[in-house]
């Protein structure tokens, strides 16, 4: 007979082909995303697209086995600006969610890029690398954030109906501006209220603020350092980091507490990538 007083540990469901989880990226593609990232040599839209494509490639690699890719995850990218909808290119265009095996086999294209590598003598060499692209940079139109998050809610509701015992889906929302169609607080709370038997959906907010008083803040546990009401709305809308995510953040040298939220303000490109990796590192693939 089980002990009814034993607490249930949430966010511990096995992630497997029979019980996959889900990552959904919700990306601001409004006109202001063509503005430059400070000291990065590229636009915010291009920096975010590069970060997401690199992360998708890493997820594909993590799901690869000798017999092929295992469908541990279903992946979606929703863009919002002039339009709201799936943002994959190529053969996956128009798809809300795709199993990761389909993702890995269907990049829109593979580019040849150059990265700097250590030459072993204190210098750097240019090395050509293959770079898979699923998601292209865009920047036009307004910021219909509430409508985009409502679309995300619909997609996640459908996924959870099919996978009620899954490790809870993770939503990563990246924006550089204020919502143009109302206060997003209610819809963010509705997304976080969705749940599997293993816990509530997790929502990350990565905010690239134009406020001149905004400093770089990563996973704060209070809104005290935030420069304006809108940053505080994004902070309040973000989920508290799970214990596993807290441990990963500490491994990477970040200061977090038990109350730290999945919120990042004015990160440079390296920190955006780091935050995405913390939010998506699998802990229990089978």
pLDDT one-digit tens code per residue, 162-192: 999 999 999 999 998 789 999 999 999 999 9
Virtual torsion, Cα 123, 127, 129, 131, nearest 10 deg = 60
Q: Decide if pLDDT at 128 tops 90.
A: no
> Domains of the chain: which residue ranges?
21-280
Q: What is the pLDDT of residue 117?
A: 67
Q: How far apart are CA 34 and CA 127, in angstroms?
A: 28
Percent of the chain with pLDDT over 70: 89
Element (H, E) at 50: helix 44-62
Q: What is the pLDDT of residue 120?
A: 73
The model's pTM: 0.89
pLDDT one-digit tens code per residue, 66-107: 888 899 999 999 999 999 999 999 999 999 999 999 999 999
Domain 21-280 in this protein, CATH class: alpha beta
């Amino acid at each position: 007979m089980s002990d009814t007083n034993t607490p249930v540990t949430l966010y511990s469901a096995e992630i497997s082909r029979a019980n996959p989880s889900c990552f959904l990226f919700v990306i601001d593609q409004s006109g202001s995303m063509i503005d430059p990232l400070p000291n990065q040599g590229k636009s915010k839209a291009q920096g975010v697209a590069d970060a997401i494509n690199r992360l998708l490639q890493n997820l594909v690699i993590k799901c690869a086995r000798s017999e092929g890719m295992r469908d541990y995850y279903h992946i979606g990218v929703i863009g919002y600006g002039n339009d709201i909808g799936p943002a994959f290119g190529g053969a996956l265009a128009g798809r809300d969610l795709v199993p990761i095996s389909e993702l890995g086999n269907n990049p829109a294209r593979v580019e040849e890029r150059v990265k700097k590598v250590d030459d072993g003598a204190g210098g750097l060499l240019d090395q050509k690398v293959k770079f898979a692209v699923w998601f292209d940079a865009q920047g036009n139109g307004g910021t219909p954030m509430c409508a985009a998050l409502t679309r995300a809610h619909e997609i996640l509701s459908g996924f959870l109906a099919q996978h009620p015992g899954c490790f809870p889906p993770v939503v990563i929302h990246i924006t550089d501006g204020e919502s143009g169609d109302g206060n997003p607080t209610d819809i963010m709370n509705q997304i976080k209220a969705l749940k599997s038997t293993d816990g509530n959906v997790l929502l990350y907010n990565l905010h690239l603020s134009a406020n001149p008083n905004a400093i770089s803040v990563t996973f704060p546990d209070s809104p005290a350092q935030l420069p304006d009401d809108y940053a505080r709305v994004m902070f309040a809308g973000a989920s508290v980091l799970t214990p596993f995510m807290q441990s990963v953040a500490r491994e990477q040298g970040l200061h977090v507490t038990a109350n730290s939220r999945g919120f990042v303000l004015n990160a440079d490109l390296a920190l955006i990538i780091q935050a995405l990796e913390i939010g998506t590192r699998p802990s229990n693939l089978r």
